[in-house]
Chains A and B, each alone.
Chain A
């Protein structure tokens, strides 16, 4: 187990290193790079040279990368937005809470719904129930998150007035204290999440049902109920752990769109607005942050997987 942990941890560090090169490279491969983008309309050769020097952008790329990495790793400093005159860390402090809240709620309800649905489909395989759920999840899987969100808004807020139209949610407190406003954003993410997860749960259940230990249990005379919930379900849940780790990027990406649709000032809206204003330092910061979170998420998922399934440790 220790060897596995060390190897897996080392892998994550390498991954993050490559991610950092890629994100840093993307920004600095632009013609005239950061400074030009920051100056925008105020661009002229003199101001460009001044700003380049001030930001240390006239130094060799490798030195710049090293400085950036040094600040990132040692101080977790994601940069400073000169357009907003605020550090990216401060901006994240204002936005991260509500984003994490939505993603957390969405993840919770997605799992809570897709496990029973997957079990239902697996136990009633090739029946009307199975086909109905399959059809719906196939459609839900193909519908883009932004379309689903707008449809839900249209139905529940505009047509039937079931949920009042939200005022802007700009802090974790605002998000937490207005659970009614969270229903539609979370539902949007849950519907598209359940579509994928329940399919996975279904096939995971079916994989386990065909195992030898199930036949043994049936032969011993265990009830169907006991076999299904005592043995099959517990084992079928294990691959779900990996799935959660793998689907984190999609979930974070979906949350970005949901924030835009439902007027929530989270990390997604921060990124979009920064991109629209050519404030690339922020975009670089949030991209790097989500990548770090994703890598840590999949690391945790893999470790839990190894802890739950002894077979993994041996390989």
Chain B
């Protein structure tokens, strides 16, 4: 039972002493939230590696095609399903299309949609949560019960439903994925809002004639931004996952504009022929992006959620 005794909380060097806070002693310039956050983030080795992986993929997908010119557009019957070799580092697919070039092109779509819908989901979730928490009363109750209800529709069914009814374009996918993944942030932001709206500075603002939008946008939202940043990272991971699921079951963007999920689905239909180079590069890319975003999210939580730092 020795585990029972919790480790004593470590006091960070950046906590000012009582004298400093009272202004009895000259203080150094207080560091911004982002500066302090960055320091905590950089201490987390795993997160730095994860960030490196993310940067690698962004460079590979968006700058790679400028350097590497693989055939990604026409069918070449004399080059079909070649194993990786000097002329095609990742082999070719059933149409003789270069897999590395395709991986870059598909990665652009995965990352673009993933990041766009991840950010959009965060914006929706943040605003909805702040409004529900700020307004309170029965409007809050209705808004939150609606979320409970929507959460009981399994995500994949909701995605299939929306994607198949609204048509399949990039914009639709960004909207659909964002619309199905903002709920968790809403709950967190609403919780934060409930504690912030009773603070003195909010009362002061209201007394001086500040209207609700001003209070929400100038006082409440900036104080919940830490939660939002953490959640955006996790939300991007979810969006990349959601898009790849849709593509895997054939409801994603159509080839040749498919994403990594589509490439993976195409490759895995040749599983029995053992064309591993068509399956694992896109599959591993999806997994690496999701794991990286999750690690970064965890590190950001340590860095930005001040509640955890004050322990």
Contact = CB atoms under 8 A, between A and B. Distances in A.
A210 interface: yes
A30 B3 contact: no
B250 interface: yes
Nearest to B293: A142
B38 interface: no
Interface stretch (A11-19, A54-62, A89-97): A11-19
Contacts of B271: 150, 153-154, 158
B41 to A, nearest CB: 18
Contacts of A218: 1
Given A37-B165, A271-B157, A144 B272 contact: no
Contacts of A153: 271
A144 B241 contact: yes
B135 interface: no
Contact of A275 (B150, B152, B160): B160
A294 B290 CA distance: 26
Nearest to A37: B165
Contacts, number: 149
A210 B153 CA distance: 36
Most central of B149, B283, B290, B294 by chain A CB within 10 Å:
B149
Given A18-B146, A210-B4, A276-B250, A256 B156 contact: yes
Contacts of A209: 1, 3-4
Contacts of A272: 160, 249-251
Interface in B235-270: 237, 241, 244-245, 248-251, 264, 268
Given A22-B150, A154-B279, A294-B154, A146 B3 contact: no
Summarize B's interface: helix, strand, loop or mixed.
helix
B245 A257 contact: yes
Task: Report which residue of A26, A206, A298 has the largest number of chain B beta carbons within 10 angstroms of its beta carbon.
Answer: A26
Interface in A130-174: 138-139, 142-144, 146-147, 150-151, 153-154, 158-159, 165
Nearest to A141: B294
Interface stretch (A1-9, A45-53, A79-87, A282-290): A282-290
B166 A30 contact: yes
B291 A214 contact: no
A280 interface: yes
Given A257-B249, A260-B249, A287 B153 contact: yes
B97 to A, nearest CB: 20
Interface stretch (A69-77, A106-114, A176-184, A245-253): A245-253
A286 B157 contact: yes
Interface in B155-169: 155-158, 160-166
B155 A249 contact: yes
Contact of B154 (A206, A215, A249): A249
Nearest to B2: A125
Given A139-B291, A158-B274, A287 B165 contact: no
B158 A287 contact: yes
Given A209-B1, A253-B157, A272-B249, A144 B149 contact: no
A307 interface: no
Best-surrounded residue of B164, B276, B287, B290 (most CB of chain A within 10 A): B164
Interface of B: 1, 3-4, 6, 145-146, 148-158, 160-166, 237, 241, 244-245, 248-251, 264, 268, 271-272, 274, 276, 279, 283, 286-287, 290-291, 294
8 nearest A-B pairs in the assembled complex, by CB-CB distance: A18-B149, A253-B156, A249-B154, A275-B164, A142-B291, A253-B154, A287-B157, A15-B149
28 contacts: A14-B145, A15-B145, A15-B152, A18-B150, A19-B150, A19-B153, A22-B150, A26-B161, A26-B165, A30-B165, A125-B3, A142-B287, A144-B287, A147-B286, A153-B271, A214-B1, A249-B153, A250-B155, A253-B156, A256-B156, A256-B157, A272-B160, A280-B161, A280-B164, A283-B164, A287-B157, A287-B158, A290-B157
Given A18-B150, A142-B237, A146-B248, 18 more contacts: A18-B145, A138-B294, A142-B287, A142-B294, A143-B290, A144-B286, A144-B287, A147-B264, A165-B272, A249-B152, A256-B249, A275-B164, A276-B164, A280-B161, A283-B161, A287-B153, A290-B157, A294-B154
